[in-house]
């Protein structure tokens, strides 16, 4: 049986499960309680075998062995705070970047204002990481924009992110986004230079889209706690850890809006022209298929990624002659 046949069998059952949870919540609450009830949606996607199901189980405090995700899986978490009854709907997309059409199921007009996209990336498979990231983000954005257009004008305006001075070169994602680099326990054993390149690139992508970025390992108890806190933040509105970690020798943790262009730079010696080209190739994943603009400051050896997407035709990339 092919993956689409499995999807056709699996998805209707999960949609019905979601509808039953919604109905149950409505039946249990009167008008006043319903107004106070918080409902959120976590849409989790990423590389196959990247640890998505394990992260969800850790968040839900489940010790069971995760099964392979087929098509679009659904579960939920509930939390009661006084008279407030909150529910977090959790959607997990299987198949890597092959089943992105199914993102249209949770990313609807009814859900979009309370939805968060979680992109899970396997740090040990960089060759798959870039294309998976590009496809998932582009498709999720398309579904988000379709849903937002169906909102009334006031709701649509409220969802548009106000542009700050340092964000004019960015393109904030339509809904909150969390990027998670998994298998940090294996990633930390890679060569330092390879880790630095991957960290620099992921930091820029997170900066560009206004996303949170964190590294994770299910075998590292501290990272599990941080992951649970971040999921709880998006699912139930709890506070998010404020500490920032940008050292590529440590598990990266950066909340949305706390990184800057100046900080998101890469120290390189001018002789490392091959290194520059590698970074250009990594960032050329742009959905516009353009290389990033790279400004070479002759007085220093700083390469600053000002934009992964072209602003002017003549400034797509700067040729360096060494």
- Domain 3-254 = CATH 3.20.20.120: no
Instruction: Output the pLDDT for position 173.
Output: 93
**Each residue's pLDDT tens digit, 249-260:** 999 999 998 887
On whether the CB atoms of residues 264 and 286 are closer than 8 A, the answer is no
pLDDT at position 145 = 93
What are the CA-CA distances from residue 103 to residues 60, 100, 111, 144, 187 (Å)? 22, 6, 12, 9, 29
Break the chain into its structural domains and give their ranges. Answer: 3-254, 265-315
Looking at residue 151, what is its pLDDT? Answer: 86
Give the pLDDT of residue 226. 97
Cβ contact 92:73 at 8 Å: yes
Q: Is the separation of the CB atoms in 229 and 219 below 8 Å?
A: no
Beta-strand pair 84-93/115-122: unpaired
pLDDT of 53 reads 96
* Predicted pLDDT of residue 12: 62
The pLDDT of residue 235: 96
pLDDT lower than 70: segments of the chain: 1-37, 154-169, 261-322
């Amino acid at each position: 049986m092919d993956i689409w046949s499995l999807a056709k069998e699996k998805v209707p059952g999960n949609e019905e499960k979601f509808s039953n949870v919604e109905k149950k919540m409505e039946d249990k609450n009167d008008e006043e309680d319903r107004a106070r009830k918080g409902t959120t949606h976590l849409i989790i996607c990423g590389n196959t075998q990247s640890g998505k199901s394990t992260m969800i189980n850790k968040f839900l405090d489940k010790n069971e062995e995760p099964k392979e995700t087929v098509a679009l899986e659904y579960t939920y978490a509930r939390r009661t705070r006084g008279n407030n009854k909150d529910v977090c709907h959790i959607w997990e997309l299987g198949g890597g970047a092959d089943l992105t059409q199914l993102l249209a199921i949770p990313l609807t007009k009814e859900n979009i204002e309370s939805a968060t996209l979680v992109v899970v990336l396997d740090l040990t498979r960089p060759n798959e990481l870039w294309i998976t990231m590009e496809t998932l983000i582009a498709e999720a954005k398309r579904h988000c924009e379709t849903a937002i257009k169906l909102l009334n004008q006031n709701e649509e305006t409220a969802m548009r992110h106000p542009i700050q001075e340092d964000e004019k070169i960015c393109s904030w994602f339509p809904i909150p986004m969390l990027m998670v680099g998994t298998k940090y326990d294996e990633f930390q054993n890679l060569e330092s230079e390879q880790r630095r390149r991957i960290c620099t690139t992921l930091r820029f992508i997170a900066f560009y889209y206004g996303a949170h970025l964190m590294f994770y390992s299910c075998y590292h108890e501290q990272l599990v706690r941080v992951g649970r806190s971040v999921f709880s933040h998006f699912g139930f509105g709890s506070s998010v850890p404020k500490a920032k970690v940008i050292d590529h020798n440590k598990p990266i943790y950066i909340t949305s809006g706390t990184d800057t262009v100046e900080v998101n730079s890469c120290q390189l010696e001018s002789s490392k022209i091959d290194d520059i080209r590698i970074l250009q190739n990594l960032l050329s994943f742009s959905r516009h298929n353009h290389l990033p603009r790279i400004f070479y400051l002759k007085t220093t050896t700083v390469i600053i990624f000002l934009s992964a997407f072209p602003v002017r035709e003549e400034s797509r990339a700067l040729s360096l002659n060494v």
